């Protein structure tokens, strides 16, 4: 533990030292290459763009207002979708008694290395250890067993927004691998398997993938995880996998069909219409602040953050181009005219939460670089020459090309540009994903595809041993079995030599 804390702090200290050393050369710019030096580039981005602050506890980070705003947008979007489905929010305790956590054998074995324990309060040792929740099945389901008596009590569909703690990993990365992170976790109970199956798929495809697409402009590979990669205690796990421009995949979110595993462990039964007593069917599903790191990795570049417009707090930044002050005959001088026009434009664009960068201590060029670094989707430059023509210079952050726009139509044009920027970001990411996939059933070719930072679509036999062989032979891992997985002819698994049961995506993982 101490070693990991030192690594995390060393990462921050190295960043601060690098910043000081390069201050005279480049006070604000990103100093590392995204593909060739991904970790350093990522650290540079999250620090210089005011997203994260490190703490003295390794893997635990402060979300600064800019990143918290993005998470709040995601929460608002999802809450709207939950409400449409009759899913209600609730809150359950942070601390889980050890005997609760131990009730589902496969579940506890899957999480035991990650659990942080509370063992004493003050100077008093607790009679029973309390787990700091790594996930909430085992603290919620004892209550469910009290609340559910009849089919009339079903379905029970609850969600909570909270933080969880998972401790066991060596190299924390803000957002992507945090020991404490924010998420939502839904826990639902149904009378029938079909209802649970339908919901597990609906959450993944119609809420999670929709959130990635419509808010974060990110496409995903959807499907079922292999048996080795599924959630501990689930019958099956569904996942959105995101393939990043650095040539690696990352799991974006998951939806788990739990079957009756937990209902039997926690005695969640109901009396059905025919009078018989039955165990319920359950799901759990979660989407976390990892999505912010995925978004950052997917879109940002060597100049800094590229924010999808729908999650940007300030969609527009206005930079007045000011000359030397002209204190003359009491009339409004050129700088005053420019500032007055900038404020009028900001008022007209109030729906986009614009800000005006009128800081006098920084040069015009510095402000342009800072706007690019911070990822404001639209930059508007306004000076004396533009004002004389009734125009403003508008720049989209993802393109960095300048367009002259008449001031009276700025509001409409900015709206169009923001929508086009979202669509273009998504289309660019989708084209990259599609171009990265190659289908092959030859082991040597699969190795080459994965080694080159691409995705192999192949077949496999499905046993847990097959996953291990894939890791060993290719250096990659299984991502998902696609929902439309079909094997139209008799094929042999290139990894085990057994009969192939499924198609599978394989790639390096972040």
**Per-residue model confidence as pLDDT tens digits over 442-466:** 999 999 999 999 999 999 999 999 9
Quickly state the pLDDT bin for 24 (edges 50, 70, 90).
very low
The 10s digit of each residue's pLDDT in 281-294 is: 999 999 999 999 99
Confidence of residue 22 (pLDDT cuts 50, 70, 90): very low
CA distance 179 to 255: 21
Looking at per-residue confidence, does 6 or 396 come out higher?
Answer: 396
19: pLDDT strictly greater than 50: no
Q: Is the pLDDT of residue 137 over 80?
A: yes
Q: What is the mean pLDDT of residues 305-320?
A: 98
pLDDT, average across residues 138-158: 97
Residue 5 has pLDDT above 50, yes or no: no
Average pLDDT, the chain: 92
pLDDT band at 1 (very low <50, low <70, confident <90, very high): very low
Q: What is the number of other CB atoms lying within 10 angstroms of the CB of residue 86?
A: 8
Cα 269 from Cα 494, distance rounded (Å): 44
* Predicted pLDDT at 4: 43
Provide, for the chain, the percentages of residues in helix, strand and coil under a 3-state DSSP scheme, each rounded to the nearest 5: 40, 25, 35
Rounded mean pLDDT, 9-13? 52
pLDDT at position 109 is 78
Q: Are 504 and 243 in contact (CB under 8 A)?
A: no
pLDDT band at 331 (very low <50, low <70, confident <90, very high): low
Q: Considering only CA atoms, which of 284, 280, 266 is closest in space to residue 97?
A: 266
End-to-end CA distance of the chain: give it in Å, rounded. 22
Cα 268–Cα 273–Cα 279 angle in degrees, nearest 5:
20
Count of H-run helices and E-run strands, the chain: 16, 24
pTM confidence score: 0.92
Q: What pLDDT shows up at residue 486?
A: 78
| pLDDT over 60 at 326, yes or no | no
Query: 397 — phi, psi (to 5°)?
Result: -60, -35
Phi, psi of 455 (to 5 degrees): -110, 130
Give me 205's structure tokens.
């495809």
Alpha-carbon radius of gyration of the chain = 26
Contact 455, 479 (CB under 8 A): yes
Region 241-258: mean pLDDT is 97
Which pairs count as long-range contacts for 408-413, CB under 8 Å and 24+ apart, including other chains?
Answer: 410/345, 410/348, 410/349, 410/380, 411/348, 411/349, 411/351
Residues 6 or more apart in contact with residue 435 via CB below 8 angstroms: none
- Tell me what pLDDT residue 12 has: 53
Banded pLDDT at 330 (limits 50, 70, 90): low
Give Cα separations from 349 to 32, 107, 356, 454, 468 (angstroms): 35, 51, 12, 42, 55
d(CA 474, CA 489): 24
Could you give the strand order of the β-sheet that contains 437-439, starting from the edge strand earlier in sequence? 437-439, 455-460, 502-507, 477-478
Arch. (CATH architecture) of 440-507: 2-Layer Sandwich (3.30)
What is residue 18's predicted lDDT score, i.e. its pLDDT? 44
Average pLDDT rounded to a whole number, residues 466-470:
95
Q: Lowest mean pLDDT: which of 86-95, 204-213, 325-334?
A: 325-334
Percentage of the residues of the chain whose pLDDT score is greater than 70: 93
* CATH of region 309-433: 3.40.50.800
CATH for 66-297 is 3.30.930.10
Token digits of residue 189: 């109970």
Q: Is residue 14 pLDDT above 60, yes or no?
A: no
Q: Which of 87-91, 195-199, 358-362 has the lowest mean pLDDT?
A: 358-362
Tell me the pLDDT band of 103, cut-offs 50, 70 and 90: confident
User: What pLDDT, on a 0 to 100 scale, did the predictor assign at position 243?
Assistant: 98
Q: Which phi and psi (to 5°) does residue 433 adopt?
A: -60, -50
| C-alpha to C-alpha distance for 131 and 111, rounded to whole angstroms | 11
Angstrom distance (rounded) from CA 370 to CA 367:
5
Q: Worst-scoring range by mean pLDDT, 46-55, 85-94, 95-104?
A: 95-104
Mean pLDDT within 259-265: 96
* Rounded distance between C-alpha atoms, residue 356 and residue 414, angstroms: 16
pLDDT score of 2? 41
**Mind giving me the DSSP string for 142-198?**
HHHHHH--BGGG--EEEEEEEEEE----SS-BTTTB-SEEEEEEEEEEESSHHHHHH
**Do residues 499 and 490 lie in contact, with contact meaning Cβ atoms separated by under 8 Å?**
yes
Instruction: Quote the pLDDT of residue 102.
Output: 87
**Contact in structure between 329 and 375 (CB atoms under 8 Å):** no
């Amino acid at each position: 533990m101490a070693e990991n804390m030192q690594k995390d702090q060393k990462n921050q200290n190295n960043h601060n030292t690098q910043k000081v050393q390069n201050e005279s050369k480049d006070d604000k710019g990103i100093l590392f290459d995204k593909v060739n030096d991904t970790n350093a580039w990522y650290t540079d981005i999250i620090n210089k763009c005011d997203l994260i602050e490190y703490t003295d506890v390794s893997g635990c980070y402060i979300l600064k207002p800019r990143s918290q705003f993005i998470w709040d947008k995601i929460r608002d979007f999802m809450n709207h979708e939950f409400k449409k489905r009759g899913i209600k929010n609730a809150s359950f305790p942070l601390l889980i008694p050890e005997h609760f956590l131990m009730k589902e054998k496969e579940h506890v074995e899957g999480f035991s290395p990650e659990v942080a324990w509370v063992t004493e309060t003050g100077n008093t040792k607790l009679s029973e250890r309390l787990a700091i929740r790594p996930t909430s099945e085992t603290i919620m389901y004892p209550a469910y067993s009290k609340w559910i008596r009849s089919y009339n009590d079903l379905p029970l569909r609850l969600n909570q927004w909270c933080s969880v703690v998972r401790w066991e990993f060596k190299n924390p990365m803000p957002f992507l691998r945090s020991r404490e992170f924010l998420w939502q976790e839904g826990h639902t109970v149904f009378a029938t398997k079909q209802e649970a199956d339908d919901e597990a798929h609906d959450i993944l495809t119609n809420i999670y993938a929709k959130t990635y697409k419509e808010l974060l402009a990110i496409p995903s590979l959807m499907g079922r995880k292999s048996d080795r990669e599924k959630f501990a205690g689930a019958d099956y796990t569904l996942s959105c996998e995101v393939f990043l421009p650095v040539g690696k995949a990352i799991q974006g979110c998951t939806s788990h069909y739990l079957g009756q595993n937990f209902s039997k462990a926690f005695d969640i039964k109901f009396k059905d219409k025919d009078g018989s007593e039955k165990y319920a069917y359950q799901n759990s599903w979660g989407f976390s602040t990892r999505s912010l790191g995925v978004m950052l990795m997917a879109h940002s570049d060597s100049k800094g953050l590229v924010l999808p417009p729908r999650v940007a707090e300030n969609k527009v930044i206005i930079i007045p181009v000011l000359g030397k002050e002209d204190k003359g005959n009491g009339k409004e001088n050129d700088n005053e005219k420019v500032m007055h026009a900038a404020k009028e434009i900001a008022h007209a664009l109030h729906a986009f939460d614009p800000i005006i960068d009128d800081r006098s201590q920084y040069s015009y060029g510095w402000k342009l670089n800072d706007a690019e670094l911070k990822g404001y989707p639209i930059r508007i430059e306004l000076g004396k020459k533009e004002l004389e023509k009734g125009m403003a210079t508008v720049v989209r952050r993802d393109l960095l090309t300048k367009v002259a726009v008449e001031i009276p139509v700025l509001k409409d044009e900015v709206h169009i540009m923001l929508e086009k920027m979202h669509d273009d970001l998504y289309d660019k990411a989708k084209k990259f994903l599609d171009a990265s996939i190659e289908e092959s059933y030859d082991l040597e070719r699969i190795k080459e595809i994965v080694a080159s930072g691409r995705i192999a679509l192949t077949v496999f036999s499905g046993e847990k041993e097959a996953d291990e062989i894939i890791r060993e032979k290719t250096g990659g891992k299984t991502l998902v079995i696609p929902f439309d997985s079909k094997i139209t002819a008799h094929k042999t698994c290139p990894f085990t030599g057994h009969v192939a049961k499924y198609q599978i995506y394989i790639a390096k993982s972040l």
